């Protein structure tokens, strides 16, 4: 196990800057999630850490060792890809043992490590099967097992759940998280799915167009986003964002007001709450809550309300937001305005 550090790391492809001056430190044993939309540079950052891409400038350290000029195999990291990358003609055992055999690990040690990984991942009964006999979730567990047997200083995971269906993603997400907690191995996990990021990461690093926007705990990014991009990217559904003057008692000219759908309250607006008027367009019943689509002029908003609230469509109503749930941003710079 070890810390992982990016020091002013930049990667250029011809005229394109894929990663721009990335500075980030991942603590020993931490689970850090790199998140952002497609093309933001998160996978490139991971591939530079793995040694699959060269850095243009800056330093990458694993522990106290600069690894920029080390080959991938010398960096003592294990990478898990979204494509599983299993050998179809080999059994689960041989897939797990392959990397260890390549570095001439003694046979007894291979047996010990493979057996341990199979036990940890509940794959002991699958050990003689080939990949075509496994489900998608089982194949991903084999890919994880291949990383575990290496006993690396860090796990690097590049969207490992993207090939799984929604239900299996939830289960495998929990498995990966428990595995990392048990092994206490430093993990850098790349995803475009902010729900994955929020539920899995000790910390989240949000990237946009190659630039790190904010790094912090899930709670910090949710409650104190540093700019409009982070505010809209983190949280599902996305934060509502309107000119501050639209919400009575929110902010001043030149500011944007942000508020999350789950913080909208039907009625109110007195005392310590701001408010706005809007017409209910559509109501989506979700069982334990309802997602209400609102319109006010050109503004389209969302509210998550209790199912007990009566919100007939086509009717204009007052909605409020507690002041401590309002986020204000500078309209020009899109940076958060702190009280």
User: What residue spans define the domains of the chain?
Assistant: 4-225, 237-330
DSSP label of 54: -
**What pTM value is reported for the model?**
0.90
Torsion sign, CA atoms 332, 232, 9, 45: negative
Distance CA 82, CA 80 (A): 7
Per residue in 139-167, pLDDT (tens digit) is: 888 888 888 888 899 999 999 888 778 88
| Joined tokens for residue 57 | 């400038």
Q: Domain 4-225 carries which CATH code?
A: 3.40.50.300
With 90 as the cut, is the pLDDT of residue 313 above it? yes
With 60 as the cut, is the pLDDT of residue 339 above it? no
| Joined tokens for residue 228 | 């409009």
Per residue in 173-209, pLDDT (tens digit) is: 888 888 888 889 999 999 999 889 999 999 999 999 9
pLDDT-derived band at 210 (thresholds 50, 70, 90) equals: very high
Q: Which residue has the tokens 């599983």?
A: 84
pLDDT score, position 270: 67
% of the chain beyond a pLDDT of 70: 99
Superfamily of domain 237-330: Nucleic acid-binding proteins (2.40.50.140)
Distance CA 20, CA 100 (A): 36
Specify the pairing of strand 203-208 against strand 31-35. parallel
pLDDT-derived band at 273 (thresholds 50, 70, 90) equals: confident
Distance CA 6, CA 54 (A): 13
With 90 as the cut, is the pLDDT of residue 170 above it? no
């Amino acid at each position: 196990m070890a810390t992982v550090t990016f020091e002013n790391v930049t990667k250029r492809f011809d005229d394109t800057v894929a990663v721009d001056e990335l500075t980030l430190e991942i603590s020993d044993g931490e689970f850090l999630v790199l998140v952002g939309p497609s093309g933001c540079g998160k996978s490139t950052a991971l591939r530079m850490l793995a040694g699959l891409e060269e850095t243009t400038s800056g330093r990458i350290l694993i522990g106290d060792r600069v690894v920029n000029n080390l080959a991938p195999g010398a960096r003592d990291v294990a990478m898990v890809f979204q494509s599983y990358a299993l050998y179809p003609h080999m059994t689960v055992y041989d897939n797990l043992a392959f990397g260890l055999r390549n570095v001439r690990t003694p046979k007894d040690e291979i047996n010990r490590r493979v057996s341990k990984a199979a036990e940890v991942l509940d794959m002991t009964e699958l050990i003689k099967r080939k990949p075509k006999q496994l489900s998608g979730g089982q194949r991903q567990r084999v890919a994880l097992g291949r990383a575990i047997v290496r006993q690396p200083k860090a796990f690097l995971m590049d969207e490992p759940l993207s090939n799984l269906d929604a239900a299996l993603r939830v289960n495998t997400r929990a498995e990966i998280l428990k595995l990392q907690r048990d092994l206490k191995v430093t993990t850098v996990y790349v995803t475009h799915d902010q729900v994955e990021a929020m539920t899995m990461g000790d910390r989240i690093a949000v990237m946009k167009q190659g630039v790190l926007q904010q790094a912090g705990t899930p709670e910090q990014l949710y409650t104190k986003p540093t700019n409009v991009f982070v505010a809209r990217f983190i949280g599902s559904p996305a934060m509502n964002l309107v000119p501050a003057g639209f919400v009575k008692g929110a902010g001043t000219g030149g500011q944007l007001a942000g508020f999350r759908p789950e913080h909208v309250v039907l009625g109110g607006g007195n005392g310590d709450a701001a408010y706005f008027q809007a017409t209910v367009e559509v109501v989506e019943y979700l069982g334990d809550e309802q997602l209400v689509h609102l319109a006010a002029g050109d503004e389209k908003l969302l509210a998550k309300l209790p199912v007990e609230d009566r919100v007939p469509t086509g009717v204009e109503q007052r909605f409020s937001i507690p002041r401590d749930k309002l986020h204000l941003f500078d309209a020009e710079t899109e940076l958060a305005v702190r009280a």
